[in-house]
Amino acid sequence: MFDIVEETGSEASLTPKTIVYVIVHGDPEADDEGLSSLGEDQVFELSRSRVMSGITRIYSSSNKACLETAGALRRSFEAPVEVKDCLDGFGFQIKEQPVSDIADMLEAYWDEGYTPEEGKSLEESRIRISDCVNGIAAKHSSDSIAVVVPPILSALLLSLVRGGEPRIEEWVMMGYCSCTTYQYSDTGWELVMPPDNSFLSERTAVKNKLPDGVLKLLGILEVKEKD
């Protein structure tokens, strides 16, 4: 699905490249009610940071928080926004239930053979995001574009480009309003900058939205961020 390349010499200089900024939406309200006030502040800080430049087009999931994030970036970069259903997440919801049930559900989603009753499996979502971003990037030779997605799709895309199986830790630790920078050409994808939201004055991540005790049951140790 993805080719990881390292180019050198004249071949590298002659191959047209596209810069793709993959943006996770800002801190959300519960139940897809859009951005929280903190999320709005995060998107403002993102638009004023130097992690992105020269964006000519913005693609967004239909997720409300993604749409609001894309709308704010549109105003800052004066770039049109196109909504793509293939950028939507795969639809699991964390409802009010015992913490142990939530941990079991999350572990099940990262089981390679698991197929949910509703929504898409992890592997189906990997294939979908792969096809989607390949199609988007191929239309923008030598451009810089932004793609606004839910955290799970940012984590899946990162695993595709790096190689290897997706890890639940990458999703849990994915920061809201983080920006991952990739370089795309007809020979493949390269990771330029891993997910970064260090420019934010107040950082949050998926882990902050999970009920207390879930990380411990999943066997995930929290890593304290350095100031």
pLDDT tens per residue, range 64-76: 999 999 999 999 9
Pick from 94, 90, 52, 92: nearest CA to 73: 52
* Per-residue model confidence (pLDDT) at position 147: 98
Q: Residue holding tokens 């004055």?
A: 201
CATH number of 15-218: 3.40.50.1240
Q: State whether residue 53 is helix, strand or coil.
A: coil
pLDDT, tens digit, for every residue of 172-200?
999 999 999 999 998 899 999 999 999 99
Residue 219 CB coordination number (10 Å):
10
Q: Residue holding tokens 């304290």?
A: 224
State both tokens at 213: 């005790």
**Which parts of the chain register pLDDT below 70?**
1-15, 32, 90-93, 95, 112-113, 116-119, 221-227
Strands (E), the chain: 18-24, 55-60, 81-83, 144-149, 179-185, 188-196
Exposure b/e, 100-119, CB count within 10 A at least 16 = b: eebbebbeebeeeeeeeeee
Please name the residues in contact with 8: beta carbons below 8 A apart, sequence gap of 6 or more: none
Are 69 and 43 in contact by the 8 Å Cβ rule? The answer is yes
Q: Which residues pair with 23 in a beta bridge?
A: 148, 179
State both tokens at 182: 């990739």
* Per-residue model confidence (pLDDT) at position 63: 92
Cα–Cα distance, 199 to 47 (Å, whole number): 10
* Per-residue model confidence (pLDDT) at position 102: 86
Are 82 and 166 in contact by the 8 Å Cβ rule? The answer is no
* Per-residue model confidence (pLDDT) at position 107: 85
Are 206 and 171 in contact by the 8 Å Cβ rule? The answer is yes
Pick from 203, 209, 195, 193: nearest CA to 227: 203
Are 147 and 175 in contact by the 8 Å Cβ rule? The answer is no
Please name the residues in contact with 95: beta carbons below 8 A apart, sequence gap of 6 or more: none
Cα–Cα distance, 157 to 212 (Å, whole number): 27
